[in-house]
Amino acid sequence: MSGNAYDIDVWGLVVALAMVAVAAGVSGLMRMGIGRTLLWSACRALLQLCAMGFVIGYVIRANNVFLVFAMIGVMLVAAVQITLSRAKGVPKGLAGPVLLSLTITMLLMITLVTELVVRPHPWYAPQLVVPLTGMLLGNTVSALAVGLSRFYESMDERRDEIDTMLALGATAWEAARPSIVSSIRLGLLPTMATLASCGIVTIPGMMAGQVIAGGDPLEAAKYQFVVFAAISALTLVADGLIMAMVYRTCFTADDQFRPRDMRGTR
């Protein structure tokens, strides 16, 4: 797969790393204290991306349906771990709901985008399915992490309001609804901002990649739109699913508010 119109050689990587090193050096001089982290992250990113490229290359060459789904499975598990480590103040035991909501949205993505819109041969075409899953997960992971953090934070802020609503006969769902709405909204904010600004301010990564690789810009734009549309719709689905699954952790079986210290917060 050397489809790139202009390949990057080893010296290109060295130049890129040197740029980071210079930036790190400057930040060290200015005592910003992020130079070491920046350099370390850049090295890690290089290794991770190369490893990913190598693995995807292998999966594409093998062109085996089981290998594709094994890879997606590994990505899902990693996504759950990253979501939970990024979400602050959430109770234990959310791995199941997060995995379920990511899996459902991932399956929807493959069904709708791959099989309905693109219709590749074979149907599991790795060079399509794997990057699409990766892009979807990247977006939903951050939306879920933000949404979950905001949900529990909001439930604790609204404690008096929730108690009042429950006392007036609200169900757990009714009492939680304002927090659910505000956290889903916050989780979707970056996605909607990207949708609004793309094409004017930014050339999204996927489209840029295709254009650099010598693809037709209009084709790239169509691809990009399909992917964006799917991602924003499915991010909403993922956020809605996770909220429906976890809001009850803030309540007891008798629809009483369960305060933070009774939830077993991590």
Contact 190, 147 (CB under 8 A): no
Query: What do you get for the CA distance between the two ends of the chain, in Å?
Result: 45
Which residues, including other chains, have CB under 8 Å from residue 121's CB and lie 6 or more apart?
Answer: none
Stretch that binds another protein, among 76-84, 178-186, 199-207, 218-226 (CB under 8 A): 178-186
Stretch that binds another protein, among 21-29, 103-111, 176-184, 226-234 (CB under 8 A): 176-184
Phi/psi at 265 (nearest 5 deg)?
A: -65, 140
**255 lines the binding site for another protein (CB under 8 A):** yes
Which one, 17 or 170, has the nearer CB to another protein? Answer: 170
The whole-angstrom separation of Cα 244 and Cα 161 is 20
Task: Determine the residue type at 54.
Answer: F
Q: How far is the CB of 258 from another protein (least distance, A)?
A: 6
Element (DSSP H or E) covering residue 136: helix 126-157
Which one, 206 or 245, has the nearer CB to another protein? Answer: 245
Q: How far is the CB of 161 from another protein (least distance, A)?
A: 5
Which one, 97 or 204, has the nearer CB to another protein? Answer: 97
Contact string (CB under 8 A) for another protein, positions 131-170, x = contact: -----------------------------xx-xxxxxxxx
**Token pair 């008096």 in the structure block, residue:** 160
Report the phi/psi class of residue 41: left, alpha or beta, with left for phi > 0 and alpha for psi in -120 to 50.
alpha
Candidates 27, 142, 256, 265: give the one binding another protein (CB under 8 A): 256
**262 lines the binding site for another protein (CB under 8 A):** yes
According to DSSP, residue 189 is labeled H
Which one, 68 or 263, has the nearer CB to another protein? Answer: 263
Q: Using the Cα atoms of residue 125, residue 128, residue 134 and residue 136 in order, give the sign of their dihedral.
A: negative
Contact 43, 17 (CB under 8 A): yes
Stretch that binds another protein, among 30-38, 174-182, 210-218, 219-227 (CB under 8 A): 174-182
Instruction: List the structure tokens of 142.
Output: 């951050």
Candidates 174, 194, 211, 260: give the one binding another protein (CB under 8 A): 174
Q: How far is CA 66 from CA 101, 128, 232, 241, in A?
A: 22, 15, 28, 27
The whole-angstrom separation of Cα 248 and Cα 62 is 44
Q: How far is the CB of 240 from another protein (least distance, A)?
A: 8
Candidates 180, 207, 227, 230: give the one binding another protein (CB under 8 A): 180
Q: How far is the CB of 228 from another protein (least distance, A)?
A: 24
Candidates 86, 88, 185, 258: give the one binding another protein (CB under 8 A): 258
**177 lines the binding site for another protein (CB under 8 A):** yes
Which residues of this protein are in contact with another protein, per CB under 8 A? 160-161, 163-171, 173-174, 177-178, 180-181, 240, 244, 252, 254-259, 262
